[in-house]
Amino acid sequence: MGAYKEPHGGELKNLYLDEAGVKTEQQAARDYVSWDLTPRQACDLELLLNGAFSPLEGFLTQSEYDAVLTTMRLPSGVLWPMPITLDVSQEFADQVEPGQAIALRDQEGVLLATLTVDDKWTPDKQREAELAFGTTDAKHPAVNYLLNTAGPVYLGGKLKGVEPPTHYDFRLLRDTPEELRERFAKLGWRKVVAFQTRNPLHRAHQELTFRAAREAEANLLIHPVVGMTKPGDVDHYTRVRCYEHVLEQYPEQTTSLSLLPLAMRMAGPREALWHAIIRKNYGCTHFIVGRDHAGPGDDSNGQPFYGPYDAQELFREHEAELDITMVPFKMMVYVEDRAEYVPADETKPDEKVLNISGTEFRRRLQEGLEIPDWFSYPKVVAELRRSYPPRQAQGFTVFFTGLSGSGKSTIANALLVKLLESGGRNVTLLDGDIVRKNLSSELGFSKEHRDLNIQRIGFVAAEITKNGGVAICAPIAPYAHTRQAVRDMIEPVGGFLEIHVATPLEVCEERDRKGLYAKARAGIIKEFTGISDPYEVPESPEMSIDTLALTPELAAHRIFVKLESLGFIR
Ligand code: PPS
């Protein structure tokens, strides 16, 4: 590649078959058992096939996996810090023996590649977590994935690529390592510094990356991750629109943008090395490593998993053999009197330094507060405001839970009327009985059916919330884990308030407005909540209502006031 250094560990891999090979493989794969790739596996596969993970030629075999975990190297001695494994279910693994080939398909069933299985093994996941991520704490996103999502069996072996996973979004901004190397060559860029990011860019980032490129006398590649990042991050559609605005801020022809479909692990130091190797494969010569690079946040004890400069240290130890140069990130701060960004270690003691933390920035967005021009670009802020409107324009769900006859429906109806009276909101009531008639008419009251019923309610409420509406749900929802699942579905897309209507069983039974408790006691109705079926009392609902002390109107009023105080209603 002319001016470019060799890819990591030798030649740049390209695991795609040629046209004739694809036809033959498609034919052969008809007889193979098929594995439908998870979103994370699809990301890994794409970067394996196009050479971004060179020198890997497939998912790690058991000996490669052991070597990577214990030495951060492949058995050949080449540095490779991240276990890239194909995890499958036990049921699937039982159909596969070493030596056999399997078809790897996307979620729609399209054949993307085949894998000739060399090894099949059951990994010790605790050991993997400890060795790869330095912890078994499931607050670490990759540990959580490993322990709670990944399948129990790994398959390792070489890949034959049939076609890349399809992307319909931002196609012109997606490049293979080969394409990016070609682009650099065409542009005459001999030195390229890459900037890895999973966040929107603001002025400090522009200043930092521009300085980094100038210091390295290199051109700049903004190389954001659009595969899988940290749960809760700004979605990549919004981010890419922001990046395009920030691109206008660099001198013309100096900077390029390309999207990387990587599934991040948030593995700090090991991840920094991995990121650098990937960028080298894409033809970059320099890589920016910042404070807390690919940091997973805090552990269960509120302590950071890695030290803020561990990634820079590990990189420095291996820089010689990595053959890509680190540009250490200098934290940039805004100096008011000078009206410019400078590295934090270059400010004078008497200078007033301004900064807005990520948390403060999100709070300002959420509450529709001012975001100063010194912090970001008006176009970037407008883009973020469009995707993350203040709470009064966000959807929310009020989820009542409580025993039959506790008063859920009455309070839910009173709240509905209050919201309609005050206006400006589209409200849908998903009352237990209404749902049972319309959405879940075939379901009974076994645990399985109740869970299914609540999941359906949660799904509909999440859709309503995502689209800016208000959902009021009022089922019994007796199981804590199902209520939690509904919360997990809704919180990322809007507000969620769990309201426990805490009327005691004796009172519900005494009221017995529908005559169901009498029937339940007589054994005519089976599996009746509170009588012959469990109700798990919510441990930390947003509100608990004592219907003995409050009328339904007052209860609805209290919820309304809570919604106002949270900013959901004006
Ligand atoms: S669940 O557990 O959340 O799926 O229940 P839900 O959909 O809210 O349905 C509860 C209403 O169904 C009537 N009903 C029963 N409830 C509990 N247990 C049994 N076995 C049962 N059989 C019928 C009852 O009228 C509930 O209405 P509400 O409004 O809660 O009184």
- Ligand 1 atom nearest to 440, measured from its CA: 7
Which residues are known catalytic residues? 197-199
SS3 37: coil
**pLDDT tens for each residue of 419-478:** 999 998 999 999 988 899 999 999 999 999 999 999 999 999 999 999 999 999 999 999
State the pLDDT confidence band at 366, using cuts at 50, 70 and 90.
confident
- Whole-angstrom Cα distance, residue 435 to residue 438? 5
- pLDDT of 197 reads 96
Confidence at residue 274, expressed as pLDDT on a 0 to 100 scale: 98
Residues 148 and 11 in one domain: yes
pLDDT(527) > 50: yes
Residue 262 belongs to domain with CATH number: 3.40.50.620
CATH code, domain carrying 120: 3.10.400.10
One domain for residues 552 and 507: yes
Query: Strand pairing of 332-335 and 340-343?
Result: antiparallel
Q: Which residue's CA is minimally distant from atom 8 of ligand 1?
A: 475
Q: Return the amino acid letter for 541.
A: P
Q: 267: closest CA among 80, 431, 395, 416?
A: 80
User: From the CA atom positions of the chain, what is the Rg in Å?
Assistant: 28
Q: Is residue 375 assigned to a domain?
A: no
Q: Which of 333, 366, 381 is the last residue of a domain?
A: 333
Domain that holds residue 434: 391-566
Identity of the amino acid at 255:
T
466 part of a folded domain? yes
Question: Based on the domain organization, do 112 and 242 belong to the same domain?
Answer: no
Same domain, yes or no: 20 and 130: yes
The answer to whether residue 22 is domain-embedded is yes
Number of domains in the chain: 3
Of 333, 348, 367, the residue that ends a domain is: 333
Domain assignment present for residue 386? The answer is: no
Shared-domain flag, residues 176 and 141: no
CA end-to-end span of the chain: 61
4 pLDDT exceeds 70? no
What pLDDT is stored for residue 417 in this prediction? 97
- Exposed, middle or buried: residue 301 (CB in 10 Å: 0-12, 13-18, 19+)? exposed
Return the residue whose CA atom lies nearest to atom 7 of ligand 1.
432
CA of residue 443 to ligand 1 center, whole Å:
11
- pLDDT tens across 124-152, in order? 999 999 999 999 999 999 999 999 999 99
Residues 10 and 38 in one domain: yes
Tell me, yes or no, whether 405 lies in a domain. yes
pLDDT of the residue at 1: 39
Ligand 1 centroid–CA 476 distance in Å is 6
164-200 in b/e form (b: 16+ CB < 10 A) is: bbeeeebeebbbbbbebbebbeeeebebbbbbbbbeb
Nearest CA to ligand 1 atom 24: 404
- Residue 450 Cα, ligand 1 centroid: separation in angstroms? 9
Q: What is the pLDDT of residues 234-261, one digit of tens each?
A: 999 999 999 999 999 999 999 999 999 9
Based on the domain organization, do 130 and 180 belong to the same domain?
no
180 and 152 part of one domain: no
| Percent of the residues in the chain that have a pLDDT greater than 90, as a whole number | 89
Task: Give the least confident one: 66-70, 134-138, 319-323.
Answer: 319-323
Question: Residue 180: pLDDT above 60?
Answer: yes
Q: How confident is the model at residue 357 (pLDDT cuts 50, 70, 90)?
A: confident
CB 255 within 8 A of CB 294: no
- pLDDT at site 228: 95
Question: Cβ contacts of residue 172 below 8 Å, gap of 6+?
Answer: none
**Are 54 and 125 members of one domain?**
yes
Task: Tell me the CA–centroid distance for residue 539 and ligand 1, in Å.
Answer: 21
What's the pLDDT tens digit per position in 95-116?
999 999 999 999 999 999 999 9
pLDDT tens digits along 47-63:
999 999 999 999 999 99
Nearest to 189, CA basis, from 224, 220, 223, 222: 220
- 144: in domain: yes
Q: What's the mean pLDDT in 217-235?
A: 94
Q: What is the pTM of this model?
A: 0.82
Q: Which residues contact 406 (CB under 8 A, 6 or more apart)?
A: 501, 502, 503, 508, 547
Are 523 and 396 part of one and the same domain? yes
How far apart CA 497 and CA 261 sit, in angstroms, is 35
Which residue among 333, 359, 377 closes a domain?
333
Average pLDDT in the chain: 95
Question: What tens digit of pLDDT does each residue of 327-336 get?
Answer: 998 788 999 9
- Contact (CB, 8 A) for 275 and 193: no
Mean pLDDT of 371-400: 94
Give the residue carrying structure tokens 């007589």: 522
- Residue 3: pLDDT above 60? no
Q: Is residue 350 part of a domain?
A: no
Is the domain of 197 the same as that of 120? Answer: no
Kindly list the protein residues whose Cβ atom lies closer than 6 A to any atom of ligand 1: 404-405, 409, 432-433, 435-436, 445, 450, 453-454, 475-478, 514, 516, 525, 527-529, 533
Residue nearest to atom 27 of ligand 1 (CA): 404
Q: Are residues 506 and 540 in the same domain?
A: yes
* Amino acid 330: pLDDT: 75
The CATH number covering residue 432 comes to: 3.40.50.300
DSSP structure class, residue 16: B
Please spell the DSSP secondary structure of 486-551, one letter per residue: HHHHHGGGSEEEEEEE---HHHHHHH-TTSHHHHHHTTSS-S-BTTTB-----SS-SEEE-TTTS-
Domain presence at residue 381 = no
